[in-house]
Amino acid sequence: MILIQAIRNAMTNDLVVRNVADLAAVPAGKPGRPSRSLNLEQALVVLDAAKGERLWPYVAMSMLGGIRTEEARALRWSEVDLEGGTVAAYRSVRRSGETTERSRRVFQILRLVSSGDSGD
């Protein structure tokens, strides 16, 4: 579709005479795979099971912070600001070891408050 639109734009500007992309048969594609994401109930069960465990911060940040697991595994304490409530993702455990320029970002850390906590 992008190519068709680009050539159509070129036709409007008298840069080409004919849009040959209109003649191409576009494949229908394949149906997508079912989502493997957890629903809210499943996520709460995982978070509850991880409480008190050594990996609780990793699990909570991965599930609630939007950070990819390969980025969370590469975190350093210098990238965690507990007072400011942020975590910076600059690296990953991928082959190159670096995230792309566009994927480098800072996450806000959510403060989880259970129903028995006063929030103080």
Tell me what the mean pLDDT of segment 31-54 comes to: 88
Report DSSP letters for 38-85, one per residue.
--HHHHHHHHHHHTTSTTHHHHHHHHHS---HHHHTT--GGGEETTTT
Tell me what the mean pLDDT of segment 51-76 comes to: 83
Tell me what the mean pLDDT of segment 98-106 comes to: 76
Tell me what the mean pLDDT of segment 48-72 comes to: 84
pTM: 0.51
Spatial neighbors of 114 by CB under 8 A, at least 6 apart, are: none
